[in-house]
Amino acid sequence: MLSQINDDNMHAFDRKCRIGAVKAASRLFREDTGLLSLNTMPNSVYDPQTCLLTTIAAAEAVDFPINRIMFEMTEHEAIEDLDHFTKIVSSYKEMGFITAIDDFGAGSSGLTLFASVMPDIVKLDARLCAGIHKSRVQKVVVSNIVEMCDKLNIRVIAEGVEECAEVTTLMELGISLFQGYHFAKPAFDAVIGEANIPWDSVRC
């Protein structure tokens, strides 16, 4: 299917994926729990008020709260037009969506993007988290990011966590939200939660 996506049908495909994700979330999530995370490309959005109408309509149709939808944006893309990127993120917030910068620390825009958009959530790039228990440099970098986010009331999620020692170190640095194979592998049309993860598999 992906091989058939091109510039002419990419936005329509993206729209159908978002609508499908909202419908699936309303069916799979327990009541009043969990966030639906949608990866998006802000530079491809000309007018969020128009482009996101279908997403909002889909959420309203299945009674899925807008404030439980999180748009993840990678900092790689912001380089093209930071002003436009900032405008789009502001529009997301005004409409009630949660905003997140994905792979933070991987792109070249870095702190400039962070200061411009002020997201609700920062997701640390997996390369900052992998093997952090063995790297003083990574510990110092992550510690300072966490301190900065705490002062600005921005939540931090550690991505790509695969080892118990990484979890322990990241917790010592003040992080309590995690994503990675240590907790669960990706699953199709399913929600991985506390009910079906053996506690011994995530305890360190």
CATH code at 181?
3.20.20.450
> Angle, to 10 degrees, between the axis of helix 82-94 and the axis of helix 110-117?
40
Predicted pLDDT of residue 88: 82
Q: How many CB atoms lie within 10 A of CB 147?
A: 11
Predicted pLDDT of residue 199: 43
The pLDDT of 16-30, averaged and rounded, is: 89
Predicted pLDDT of residue 195: 43
On whether residue 111 sits in a domain, the answer given is yes
Predicted pLDDT of residue 78: 61
Assess contact for 70 and 93: CB atoms under 8 A. Answer: no
Closest to 105 in 3D by CA, of 133, 136, 146? 146
Predicted pLDDT of residue 110: 72
155-158 β-sheet, strand order: 36-40, 69-74, 98-104, 121-124, 155-158, 177-178
On whether residue 25 sits in a domain, the answer given is no
pLDDT at 137 over 90: yes
On whether residue 12 sits in a domain, the answer given is no
Predicted pLDDT of residue 58: 92
Mean pLDDT of the chain: 84
Domain count, the chain: 1
Residue 30 is given by DSSP the state: P
159-178: per-residue pLDDT in tens? 999 999 999 999 999 999 99
The distance of Cα 20 from the centroid of its chain, to the nearest Å, equals 18
Predicted pLDDT of residue 202: 52
Predicted pLDDT of residue 170: 96
On whether residue 115 sits in a domain, the answer given is yes
Sign, CA dihedral 108-106-37-122, equals: negative
Q: What is d(CA 52, CA 74) in angstroms, rounded to the nearest whole number? A: 18
Token pair recorded at residue 84:
């436009």
pLDDT at 138 over 90: yes
Question: Which residue range forms the structural domain that includes residue 141?
Answer: 33-40+67-201
pLDDT at 151 over 90: yes
Closest to 87 in 3D by CA, of 120, 129, 127, 117? 117
Residue 52 is given by DSSP the state: T
Assess contact for 149 and 156: CB atoms under 8 A. Answer: yes
On whether residue 152 sits in a domain, the answer given is yes
Predicted pLDDT of residue 129: 96
On whether residue 173 sits in a domain, the answer given is yes
The pLDDT of 196-203, averaged and rounded, is: 48
pLDDT at 197 over 60: no
37-70: per-residue pLDDT in tens? 998 776 666 677 777 888 899 999 999 999 999 9
The verdict on pTM exceeding 0.95 is no
pLDDT category at 203 given cuts 50, 70, 90 is low
On whether residue 13 sits in a domain, the answer given is no
Assess contact for 33 and 72: CB atoms under 8 A. Answer: no
The distance of Cα 120 from the centroid of its chain, to the nearest Å, equals 10
Sign, CA dihedral 21-82-114-128, equals: positive
On whether residue 188 sits in a domain, the answer given is yes
Token pair recorded at residue 20:
């499908």
Token pair recorded at residue 126:
């997996």
pLDDT at 109 over 70: no
Predicted pLDDT of residue 105: 82
